[in-house]
Amino acid sequence: MPIVDELIGLPKLPEQAQEIVEVMNRGETLGASRNIRQINEVFIRTAKHWKGADPEALVGAIQDTADYYIQNRGKNTPAIGNAINKVLFGISDLQGDSIEQVTAFLEEKCLEYNQKSIHNVAMIARLGANLLESAEVILAYDYSSSMMAVLKELAERGHQKRILIPESRDLDGGRPIVKESTAVGHTVDFVIDMATSYFIKDVDAVLIGAETIFANGGCWNTIGSFCMAVLADYYKIPFYVPTELIKIDPNSFKGMNKEIKFDDYSSLLDYPDSFDKPDLISVTAPALDFVPPELITAFITETGVINPFLLWEQARAFLHEINIDPLKN
């Protein structure tokens, strides 16, 4: 088995694969779909530049790399684990084959997944743009590659919109939306989070992405998403979640809830330097919000626009396609 680099928890990878790992560690690529394609590139480069003739060692390195990403990046979204499960299904059967056969397997499976994912996002963009063509003002909360695909599709159709973008301060998730929206010709109101309640009265539709989809029709997303949903519900504004079905959490079919992760916001809040009695102050908060199905108008997915209360069967069928039985003990 490969030697594990204790610093980052990854096996020793070829230099060409490590280059992609370092790009991912710097956080330069936003959106789960894009990150999954980068993980696939790590798999391919590892195989193509593997030094040695033992296919079992290569398969072990790929599986250890997969475990690392599932255990780390997969904590935020099940999309990572679901995608890796789909791409690597059957790889353990190749340990007696050659390095070339393992490499060919990975290239074929990764290419197939990447092409399908790009197709999925394009379908989400078309369906979302169809829904929002008549909207004049759209609220877009926190960065999502699927959400941005919808906004880009609208612009390419000649429908430049006014986009209300709260800062999403905890991750500074509004700023990249501003940059990409203005780049395609949309006009933007970039506002502090707490000003959203004032501006949302003029909004025709709200868009958020999803870190995780639940079988009950709810979703988890960046903290603040629930507030956006409550405001949208109060003002009777449609609330849409453009997302690939790869983000469905298999555990949610068994009624298992998501572990709530708390982040430390010391740096963001200049703690403890700005306070006289920091020992009396806590600066932690949840990283994600749960938006219940009753506050969601629809999910915009690669298979269609889905009522949240009808998500169960669609999501279960999808998981079966990627060799996951969500109800299996």
Instruction: Give the pLDDT of residue 54.
Output: 87
Instruction: State how many domains the chain has.
Output: 2
Report the greatest alpha carbon distance in the chain: 65
Q: Are 308 and 173 contained in the same domain? A: yes
- Measured in degrees and rounded to the nearest 5, phi and psi for residue 242 equal -75, 125
Q: Which residues contact 236 (CB under 8 A, 6 or more apart)?
A: none
127 lies in a domain? no
Q: Which residues contact 185 (CB under 8 A, 6 or more apart)?
A: 155, 160
Tally of CB atoms within 10 A around 37: 17
Domain boundary, last residue among 119, 145, 164: 119
Instruction: Give the pLDDT of residue 95.
Output: 62
User: In the structure encoding, which two tokens stand for residue 119, read together?
Assistant: 């197709």
Measured between alpha carbons, how far is residue 177 from residues 118, 144, 221, 317 in Å? 20, 8, 16, 32
Instruction: Give the pLDDT of residue 329.
Output: 59
Residue spans of beta strands (DSSP E) within 28-186? 137-141, 162-166
Q: Are 141 and 223 contained in the same domain? A: yes
Residue 207 belongs to a domain with what CATH number?
3.40.50.10470
Instruction: Give the pLDDT of residue 207.
Output: 98
Cα gap 105→110, rounded to integer Å: 8
126 lies in a domain? no
User: In the structure encoding, which two tokens stand for residue 178, read together?
Assistant: 């501003």
The model's pTM = 0.89
Instruction: Give the pLDDT of residue 72.
Output: 80
Domain extent, residue 79, equals: 4-119
Instruction: Give the pLDDT of residue 9.
Output: 75
Q: Are 152 and 44 contained in the same domain? A: no
CB 180 within 8 A of CB 255: no
Residue 51 belongs to a domain with what CATH number?
1.20.120.420
276 lies in a domain? yes
Q: Are 180 and 235 contained in the same domain? A: yes
Instruction: Give the pLDDT of residue 2.
Output: 37
Handedness of CA 178, 154, 151, 22 (dihedral sign): negative
CB 58 within 8 A of CB 222: no
Burial group, residue 9, by CB count within 10 angstroms (0-12, 13-18, 19+): middle
CB 222 within 8 A of CB 287: yes
Q: Are 106 and 170 contained in the same domain? A: no
Q: Are 60 and 140 contained in the same domain? A: no
Domain boundary, last residue among 65, 90, 119: 119
Cα gap 62→47, rounded to integer Å: 8
Instruction: Give the pLDDT of residue 24.
Output: 84
Tally of CB atoms within 10 A around 210: 27
Q: What is the pLDDT along the chain (329 residues), one digit of tens a residue?
A: 333 343 347 888 899 999 988 888 887 677 788 889 999 999 999 999 998 888 889 999 999 999 999 888 777 789 999 999 999 999 988 766 789 999 999 999 999 999 999 999 999 999 999 999 999 999 999 999 999 999 999 999 999 999 999 999 988 999 999 999 999 999 999 999 999 999 999 999 999 999 999 999 999 999 999 999 999 999 999 999 999 999 999 999 998 888 888 999 999 999 999 999 999 999 999 999 999 999 999 999 999 999 999 999 999 999 998 888 888 85
Q: Are 53 and 182 contained in the same domain? A: no
Q: Are 286 and 144 contained in the same domain? A: yes
Cα gap 95→58, rounded to integer Å: 8
Cα gap 41→108, rounded to integer Å: 12
- Three-state secondary structure call for residue 40: helix
Q: Are 100 and 185 contained in the same domain? A: no
* Chain centre distance of CA 104: 28
Instruction: Give the pLDDT of residue 94.
Output: 75
Q: How many CA atoms lie within 13 A of 92 on its CB side?
A: 5
Domain boundary, last residue among 119, 146, 177: 119
149 lies in a domain? yes
